[in-house]
Structure 1
Amino acid sequence: MILLDMTVVNVALPRIQDGLGFSASGLAWVVNGYVLAAGGLLMLGGRLADVFGRRRLLLIGVVVFGLSSAVSGAAEAPWMMVVGRFGQGAAEAIAAPASLGLIALLFTDPKERTKALGVWGGIIGLGGTLGYVISGVLTDLVSWRWIFFINLPVALVALVLVPRLVTESQMVRAKDHSLDIIGAVTLTLGLVGVVYGLLQAAEHSWGSTAVVVPIAAGAALLLTMLLVERRARNPLIPLGFFANRTRSVVNFVTLFFMAAFISYTFMLTLFEQQVLDYSPLVTGLAWLPLSVGIGGGIALGTALIPRLGVRVVTGGGFIGAGVGLFLTSTADVDSSYVGGIMPGMLVFGLFAGATMPAATNAALHGVTVQDSSLASGLQNTMQQIGGALGVAVLVTLALRHADGEIRLGTAPEVAMTEGYTLAFRIGAALMVIGGLLVMALIERVDTELRDPMAESLAESR
């Protein structure tokens, strides 16, 4: 439910824009409101789960998510939609690290944990891509508001089942209960400032006050966050956590992956509806090959990890996904779905899916019981920050390029297409660079390596 709602709005974006009166750049906040709140608060959510109990935080997150979904569904103005989306993102920050931390602790055998994490990653991947299909059906046949209201019964079911099926888990002792609230606030506000400034660049020059001031303020807040982390008694991210090269590299390249992935889904949806004139229903159904590709890729990646190792599967997946994005960038205003969109979507989905279980395993490599939610929170944070920066930067570049072409006399549909394809090529380059960094820098990680989490669990028992 949570990951579905990160993508479920994409197909409905044109209808939401018309219904609530969003501007072209303001529409990006329907996506970025979610990912910024999640990215800025995930580390705090992970630490809260470690301190106060992972099941408890999971349930709290479900409640907040349901309430925020109701606000978004009932929105009558842009600000209500953005507030609801920020609330949904905050709910993910509370619930997602707790859920992944629980899975990492419930499966103590390394091989079984690899399978469990593969299933977890698969549900995330399929949930995210099925969001497009569900959004298309509800938007076309009922109303875009039901893409949010549908979360309410799901939340109720989760509130009934989780207490009955999942035991509580908290690992940090009472003396560690101090929380780095200042670090979380400065991180969130800093990211909001930077992304807001980047989105303003779609309508203003790069040197304008509207762009420079929020970016500078956001950068100053992020610098403050780093200073706070160095001195905090119980920092959100202990600097020693980055001593593990595998975790550090995979979290860094996750920024590239999500920047390309989220901006791809955002812009391809607009391309299909605004240039190719697809209906919301057709647009939603058009994403099915991505779901199929990701599902197959996850199964393939999970099977290959024990044989090839995380480094090869992750690096190869990144590079292959880049090829898929490049294929998508060859589309034009006359492209058919079968010849112009689907081939790149299948290639992208297959290789992107293969990276998901591999990257998750690498992000948790060498993690102890005490820091399981911290590690999962950090990976989720990088995913959300990467998605927000991808939408802010690549969508801005696409819009500016299109505006420039229109001023030169190019037809609007052609100009928009050229802007989108430029952004797809940049995303492809980011994927390939990420894959090369993984192949060059990551350690060889597979299920036969020493497993600190399993050892820590054994000692605690």
Structure 2
Amino acid sequence: MGLLAGGTLTQTISWHWIFFVNVPIGIVAPVSAGRVLASEPGVGLGKGTDVVSALLVTPALMLSVYTIVETTNYGWTSPHTLSLGAAALALLLAFVACQAKAPHPILPLRVFRSRNVSGAMGIQALMVAGVFSFQFLCVLYCRRCSASTRYTPASASSRSRSRSACSLGLSPKLIARFGPRAVLLPGLSLITAGLAALGRIPAGGSYVVDVLPALLPLGIGFGLAMPSLATLAMSAATPQDSGIASGMFNTMQQIGSAFGLAVLSTLATSHADVLLGDGASTASALTGGYQLAFRIGSGLVAVALLVAATLLSSPATAQPPAAKEEPVAENATH
């Protein structure tokens, strides 16, 4: 829906509205939650909030993405990039140190003792880095490099949307029949193959011949992989840590998409500039940059597939880590 609505807003009003539209959504969501969701007791702010950690990890992630994006202007080994990268790493390490000592950490490190939880988080970041970046780059290809460069923003975004609806409806049945790990592995394989196919799209290619055959396995694979991965991540969490694990799983999706888009789009731009300097046409240079990004995205998902095959286990054999005895409501608030 985001791809379709974003293209429509960009075409009919202004690209600024892809941000403005979140304001009414942000108002409706908490109002609806207050009316629909049941109220549960919690400790509130009485036992303290880990504000310091929040002030460390937020700028660490923002600074990391900014540093990556700015490499197009400064280069990867410039003092600007290295100094900002070191600062981001220092903030992230300080956050981890605070989590190990804080009485009420926002991210208890014990949740990562489970191979399924920690593995699922890493797989989520790698998978999303490849899949979400392709949506952005594929729209640019359809608009600037395909056989028909007359695509409007709305039509270009509609052609790049994932075909995952059917597999999302099928995933619960397959997971119940074969188990989440058995469904996750072919899902990641399909995503890897789809991105690899996009890595071979030619300049001036046809949507039906060159793009659509890659989008089909991508959409089906993502629809199979995401529910399976969520099931594996939650199956290994203790009841006390289920809220934390769920929050981390969704957070890793945001982190993976932000870093993936920053890295892959930066590499695509840099490679296109090199090709332009070598005398390539604009369409060929841009396509070469997109090809490189798609191939790297395919490699990221291939690594996720390897991790899933070697690290994750089915819920029947996964052993969740022991957690301290804490009231469920109190820990959920954390």
Which interval holds the TM-score relative to the shorter structure?
0.7 to 0.9
Counterpart of 1:280 in structure 2 is: 153
Task: State the alpha-carbon separation in 2 of the partners of residues 360 and 280 from structure 1.
Answer: 32
Give the whole-Å Cα distance in 1 for the aligned partners of 2:65 and 2:309.
Answer: 30
Residue 302 of structure 2 is aligned to residue 432 of structure 1: yes
**What are the within-5 Å matches in structure 2 for residues 354-369 of structure 1?**
354-369=224-239
Deviation at 1:370, TM superposition (A): 3.4
Residue 279 (structure 2) aligned to one of 398, 409, 415: 409
Match of 1:259 in 2: 129
Structure 1 contact 325–425 (Cα < 8 Å) conserved: yes
Alignment counterpart, residue 147 of structure 1, candidates 2, 13, 18 = 18
Take 1:211 and 1:334, find their aligned partners in 2: how far apart are those partners? Answer: 35
TM-score, with length taken from structure 2: 0.88
**Could you tell me which residue of structure 2 aligns to residue 350 of structure 1?**
220
- What SS does the aligned partner of 1:314 have? helix
Q: Give the counterpart letter for 1:281 in structure 2.
A: A
Number of equivalent positions: 321
Which position in structure 1 is the counterpart of 2:332? none
Instruction: Specify whether residues 401 and 339 from structure 1 end up closer, same or farther in structure 2 by C-alpha distance, changes over 3 A only.
Output: same
2:102 to 221, 224, 232: 232
Which structure 2 segments of 5+ residues have no match?
Answer: 330-334
With over 3 angstroms needed to count, the CA separation of the structure-2 counterparts of 1:150 and 1:230, relative to structure 1, is closer
Alignment of 1:26-45 (within 5 A): none
Q: Between the two structures, name the one with larger relative contact order (CA 8 Å, sep ≥ 6).
A: 2
Aligned to 2:136, the other structure's residue is in SS state: helix
Partner of 2:74, secondary structure, is coil
Contact 1:183 1:229 in 2 (8 A): yes
Letter in 2 for 1:429: G
Deviations 1:273-320 (CA, angstroms, capped at 9, x unpaired)? 2223221121122135x2xx2111212221111222111211221111
Distance 1:321 1:142, change over 3 A: same
CA contact (8 A) 1:267 1:395 kept: yes
Q: Aligned AA for 1:320?
A: L
Q: Deviations over 1:186-230 (max 9, x none)?
A: 111111222222111122222212211111110111111111111
Q: Where does residue 168 of structure 1 map in the other structure?
A: 39
Counterpart of 1:321 in structure 2 is 191
Q: Aligned equivalents of 2:292 and 2:74: distance in 1?
A: 20
Q: Which runs of 5+ in 1 are unaligned?
A: 1-129
Quickly say closer, same or farther: Cα 1:223–1:304, change in 2 above 3 A: same
More helix by share: 1
Q: Cα distance, 1:157 vs. partner? A: 4.6
Query: Does structure 1 conserve the Cα–Cα contact (< 8 Å) formed by 2:116 and 2:318?
Result: no
Distance in structure 1 (CA, Å) of the matches to 2:96 and 2:102: 10
Q: Is the 8 A contact 2:114 2:320 kept in 1?
A: no
Q: How high is the TM-score relative to the length of structure 1?
A: 0.65
Structure 2 CA distance for partners of 1:405 and 1:222, relative to 1, 3 Å: same
Distance in 2 of aligned mates of 1:312 and 1:333: 37
Q: Name the CA distance, whole Å, in 2 between partners of 1:151 and 1:243.
A: 36
The secondary structure found in structure 2 opposite 1:333 is coil
Mapped partners of 1:231, 1:310: distance in 2 = 35
**Aligned partner letter, 1:143:** S
Bigger drift between 393-402 and 270-279 goes to 270-279
Q: For the residues of structure 2 that align with 1:449 and 1:253, how far apart are their CA atoms? A: 17
2:6 partner letter: S
One-letter amino acid matched to 1:419:
G
The answer (yes or no) to whether the contact 2:183–2:228 under 8 Å persists in 1 is yes
